[in-house]
């Protein structure tokens, strides 16, 4: 009977582990499937086309060039490889300046014809119009090709404006650099402090002090991130603004400090548990060979517990890179490339949290946010692999 129950329990554990592994695999597959669909969308807003005069030699434009044209930053076709003439951007709302409602028809049945007339009589025009009203049979009108979103512009683009028209901008460089910028400095702050506290609790603190501090530190890990965000917004942000004489306190520096505080409990707890697991015989052997207390810590305890310390580092970096609410509240959410720690930034997790609820399902914006999730997943995997490789190398060296 006992073996029977052991078999049942073993089967339950096996099924549970398999179900968990399959669920994780399906989540990853779903994430990359949705993200890969992003590159099937057009550069121009869905349901619209760009038309130019047939005599215009320009045959295609990048999404950034389209944005600059309709923002009047580029005003001559010569800058785009065309003739030396002014660009005349046209949106569908401008049709009322050319024709009355009666001329367009009660149900806009003459709209395509009238749009064809405008485009054919304006040599420098570029018209952003609905695809259903595009004058396709007019020989004086050239419809620019429907180009798909370009991976090079996505990964190397410097602007994140997913709601811009006629060409949304999905350059993730500001978001990627903002995430790495905030996460890197958070770890630079948290890692030495966390390891120092872990060494103190494990090797130097008295049992009474350890029993008092350890539960308090573990309790910090259970505080919701939005509470840290409120603390940062009310206390830390004004302090940073006054201390460094900044126009605003919502900066990458404020985000790094908040993330460092949030990562500390995880780093301290995991690293301290790993150090405490070092066998007492190894400590005594080191001391018996003439090593002092600090030499034992550096040459015996830390190398022995390096895998646990690496796990603490990975979990701390994961907390820093993947944190959402606290960063959303204290970093300013400006999608610009950071040059110093004292500028507002926007991170990938904060972007996903802020925009996913407003992105139309199956649209380009929706797919771009899933691609950001894929990038965040890859960053986390790379951090884990790097930490594992470093820990193995350090263990072999020791």
Question: Measured at the alpha carbon of residue 292, what is the angle toward residues 288 and 298, in degrees to the nearest 5?
Answer: 110
Query: Do 264 and 256 form a contact (C-beta atoms < 8 A)?
Result: no
- What residue ranges of the chain are covered by domains with CATH 3.40.190.10? 48-153
**Residue 23 exposed, middle or buried by CB count within 10 Å (0-12, 13-18, 19+):** exposed
- What residue ranges of the chain are covered by domains with CATH 1.10.3720.10? 173-397
Element (H, E) at 15: helix 2-36
Query: Do 329 and 229 form a contact (C-beta atoms < 8 A)?
Result: yes
Interatomic CA distance for residues 332 and 46, integer angstroms: 30
Spell out the CATH class of 48-153. alpha beta
> What contacts 24+ positions apart, CB below 8 Å, involve 289-296?
293/203
Which of 1.20.1250.20, 3.30.70.100, 3.20.20.60, 1.10.3720.10 would CATH assign to domain 173-397?
1.10.3720.10
pLDDT in tens, the chain (398 residues): 677 788 888 888 888 888 988 998 999 899 999 888 899 998 998 889 999 999 999 998 988 899 999 999 999 999 998 999 999 999 999 998 899 988 898 888 899 999 999 999 998 999 999 999 998 888 999 999 988 888 888 998 899 999 888 999 999 999 999 998 998 899 899 989 998 999 898 888 888 888 888 888 888 888 888 899 999 999 999 999 999 999 999 999 999 999 999 889 888 988 888 888 888 888 878 877 777 778 888 888 888 888 788 888 888 877 778 888 888 899 988 888 988 889 999 999 999 988 988 888 888 999 999 999 999 989 888 877 877 776 665 555 45
Q: What is the DSSP letter of 165?
A: S
Interatomic CA distance for residues 323 and 327, integer angstroms: 7
Please give the model's pTM, rounded to 2 decimal places.
0.84
For 85-144, the DSSP string reads SB-EEEEGGGGGGT--HHHH-TTSTTHHHHHHHHHHH-TTEEEEEEGGG--TT-TTEEEP
Sheet strands (E) in 131-222: 141-143, 160-161, 169-170
φ and ψ of 124, to 5 deg: -95, 10
């Amino acid at each position: 009977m006992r073996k029977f129950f052991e078999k049942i329990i073993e089967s339950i554990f096996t099924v549970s582990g398999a179900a968990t592994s399959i669920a994780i695999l399906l989540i990853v597959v779903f994430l990359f499937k949705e993200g890969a669909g992003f590159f099937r969308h057009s550069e121009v807003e869905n349901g619209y086309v760009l038309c130019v005069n047939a005599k215009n030699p320009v045959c295609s434009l990048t999404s950034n060039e389209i944005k600059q044209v309709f923002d009047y930053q580029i005003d001559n076709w010569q800058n785009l490889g065309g003739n030396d003439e002014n660009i005349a951007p046209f949106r569908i709302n401008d049709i009322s300046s050319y024709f009355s409602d009666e001329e367009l028809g009660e149900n806009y049945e003459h709209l395509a014809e009238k749009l064809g007339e405008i485009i054919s009589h304006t040599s420098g025009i570029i018209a952003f119009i609905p695809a259903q009203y595009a004058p396709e049979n007019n020989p004086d009108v050239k419809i620019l090709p429907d180009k798909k979103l370009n991976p090079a512009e996505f990964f190397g683009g410097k602007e994140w404006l997913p709601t811009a028209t006629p060409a949304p901008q999905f350059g993730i460089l500001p978001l990627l650099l903002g995430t790495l910028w905030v996460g890197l400095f958070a770890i630079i702050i948290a890692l030495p402090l966390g390891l120092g506290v872990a060494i103190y609790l494990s090797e130097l603190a008295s049992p009474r002090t350890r029993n008092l501090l350890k539960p308090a530190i573990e309790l910090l890990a259970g505080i919701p991130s939005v509470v840290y965000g409120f603390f940062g917004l009310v206390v830390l942000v004004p302090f940073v603004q006054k201390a460094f004489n900044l126009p605003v306190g919502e900066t990458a520096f404020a985000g790094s400090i908040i993330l460092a505080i949030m990562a500390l409990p995880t780093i301290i707890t995991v690293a301290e548990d790993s150090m405490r697991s070092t066998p007492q015989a190894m400590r005594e052997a080191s001391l018996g060979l003439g090593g002092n207390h600090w030499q034992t810590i550096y040459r015996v305890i830390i190398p022995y517990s390096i895998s646990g310390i690496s796990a603490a580092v990975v979990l701390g970096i994961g907390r820093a890179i993947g944190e959402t609410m606290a960063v959303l509240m204290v970093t300013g959410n400006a999608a610009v490339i950071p040059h110093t720690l004292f500028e507002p930034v926007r991170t990938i997790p904060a972007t996903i949290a802020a925009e996913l609820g407003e992105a139309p399902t199956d649209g380009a914006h929706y797919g771009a946010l899933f691609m950001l999730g894929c990038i965040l997943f890859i960053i986390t995997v790379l951090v884990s692999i790097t930490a594992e490789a470093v820990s193995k190398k350090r263990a072999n060296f020791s």
